[in-house]
Structure 1
Amino acid sequence: MSGMNIDLHGRLALVTGGSGQLGRVMCRTLARCGADVAVHYHRNREGAEGLVTELRATGVRAHAVQADVTLPADVRAMRDAVNAQLGDPDIIVNNAVIQFAWTSVLQQSPHDFEGQFRSSVLHNVLMAQTFVPAMQARGWGRVIGINTECSLQNTPTQAAYVAGKRGMDGVLRVLAREVGPQQVTVNQVAPGWMISEDVSDDDTASAYREGVPLRRRGTDQDVANLVAFLASDLAAFISGQFISVSGGNVMPAI
């Protein structure tokens, strides 16, 4: 019996936050599977364009596109730009998020809570409203939201982040039911504290590692591998799921 391969040839993926720590490896992995890739960025134009050059060298089509994914007009303009260069995305990976300083509920600025709502909840709503109708018309599509293990941990100082990501979870679960009849799947990938190009593994992470059943931290590639799987036909009957990539650090329960 021959092995199974993740084959995304003929598919177009759009990754928001595509030039970021986890996003850039998602883009590379989707491209290695044969997908054409639209790399979204907000401010990191140089990083996005450098990544596009790298992806094109592998033989796929790629294009960088700028937008504030919390603004309806920007998301619509991004759709038009991607369509003009590459076509309508078959796969959207909602990965971008606003960064902020974590502090206690009693100290956290309302602005931070609002920012997390916009980048976690509204981001996913706008991406769905803008890109899913074309998927429905084709009868095939993938929506992949990047959530976090923090949604299940409720750790002190993470309230704004957890609130935004839990709201995102609700939106995507409802969306999965609404668009399933047109064979559009909707799933979430929830990374733990991953190692990436700019996030190393050192002694400050020893307590975290001890709490992980596998006794180690995962990598950005571990997250990208699940994204690629969910984007493929191998995952055609998987929808509405929240899947942790944390070495068992969190275990979503029934």
Structure 2
Amino acid sequence: MSIDLTMKTALVTGATGELGRVMARTLAKGGADIIIHYYSNEHKAHQLQQEIEQLGRKAMIVQADVADLDSVMRMKEAVEGRFQLPDIVVANAVSQYSWTSVLEQSVDDYVDQFNSTVLQAVHLAKAFVPHMIERRAGRIIAINTECAMQNFPSQSAYVAGKRGMDGVYRVLAKEIGEHQITVNQVAPGWTISDRDRENQTERSESYERTVPLKRRGTDQEIANAVAFLASDLSSFITGAYIPVSGGNVMPAI
């Protein structure tokens, strides 16, 4: 058995980010052509496009603000005119901000997180699910977080957005399941990325002590879970929130 994504097209939002790049490359290695979404880092998008094309896959670059429906619909039109609409949508983009306490956190940060998580889910569904319904096939994979279960101090805006996103995707899974479209979430723990490797910050003993596997996960391990959910091997899994955190969070039955 192997993960075979040949003849598939995948959209990865936030594909120029630390995790997004690895997911895009991994899906391409599985055989998928890739739609590389970026918000501001056009240079990194072109670098990633070259990497994917060197793997023998097609790649298209698209710019959009996932928090804005008109921008997402323009992205869809651009893809439709020049490429193929996606069979796989990986909702990875999220806005960055400084974490602090509820009392000190700006209200604008909560709005920003809502727009880039909850509304991204809604916008991507409106743009790309109708095509999946026509084809009676599709994969939607959202990147959530272990923080959504931890609810630690200073996480409130991030957690609020991700938990709201969780609700949208669970409802969506029930609404479109009859069309053989699966909707799942991958929830990374604190993940080692290229930035950590460059800065030699891979280790954190205080964090690792809380993890049953006693280490941090890697960006590739997150991407592997995404590739599995994108493949036919996961055809009867939908509505799932799957931590990839070494057991640091464990949803209870």
> TM-score category by the smaller chain?
over 0.9
Calculate the TM-score normalised by the size of structure 1: 0.97
Q: How many pairs were matched up?
A: 251
**Structure 2 unaligned spans of 5+:** none
Residues 136, 181 of structure 2: 8 Å contact kept? yes
Quote the residue 1:57 is aligned against.
54
**Structure 1 unaligned spans of 5+:** none
Deviations along 1:146-183, whole A, 9 cap, x unmatched? Answer: 00000000000000000000000000000000000000
Q: Aligned partners of 1:58 and 1:222: how far apart in 2?
A: 20
Quote the residue 2:73 is aligned against.
76
Residues 173, 182 of structure 2: 8 Å contact kept? yes
Quote the residue 2:99 is aligned against.
102
- For residue 211 of structure 1, give the secondary structure of its aligned residue in structure 2: coil
Does residue 45 (structure 1) correspond to residue 13 (structure 2)? The answer is: no
State how 1:51-200 maps to structure 2 within 5 Å: 51-200=48-197
Quote the residue 2:31 is aligned against.
34
Superposed CA RMSD in Å reads 1.0
Q: Aligned partners of 1:199 and 1:184: how far apart in 2?
A: 35
User: How far off is 1:203 after superposition?
Assistant: 8.0
Does residue 21 (structure 1) correspond to residue 21 (structure 2)? The answer is: no
User: How far off is 1:202 after superposition?
Assistant: 3.6
- For residue 22 of structure 1, give the secondary structure of its aligned residue in structure 2: helix
Q: What is the one-letter code of the residue matched to 2:163?
A: R
Task: Flag the 1:7–1:110 CA change in 2: closer, same or farther, 3 A.
Answer: same
Q: Aligned partners of 1:203 and 1:149: how far apart in 2?
A: 18
Q: Aligned partners of 1:165 and 1:203: how far apart in 2?
A: 25
Does residue 232 (structure 1) correspond to residue 231 (structure 2)? The answer is: yes
Q: What is the one-letter code of the residue matched to 1:23?
A: G
Quote the residue 1:244 is aligned against.
243
- For residue 179 of structure 1, give the secondary structure of its aligned residue in structure 2: helix
Share of identical aligned residues, percent? 57
Which aligned runs of 4 or more in structure 1 are off by greater than 2 angstroms? 199-204
Q: What is the one-letter code of the residue matched to 2:65?
A: D
Q: Which one is further off, 203-212 or 46-55?
A: 203-212
Q: Aligned partners of 1:133 and 1:203: how far apart in 2?
A: 41
User: How far off is 1:84 after superposition?
Assistant: 2.0
- For residue 251 of structure 2, give the secondary structure of its aligned residue in structure 1: coil
User: How far off is 1:111 after superposition?
Assistant: 0.1
User: How far off is 1:204 after superposition?
Assistant: 6.8
Q: Aligned partners of 1:80 and 1:253: how far apart in 2?
A: 42
Residues 94, 145 of structure 1: 8 Å contact kept? yes
Quote the residue 2:219 is aligned against.
220
Q: What is the one-letter code of the residue matched to 1:33?
A: G
Q: Which one is further off, 78-87 or 61-70?
A: 78-87
Residues 39, 62 of structure 1: 8 Å contact kept? yes
Task: Flag the 1:141–1:215 CA change in 2: closer, same or farther, 3 A.
Answer: same
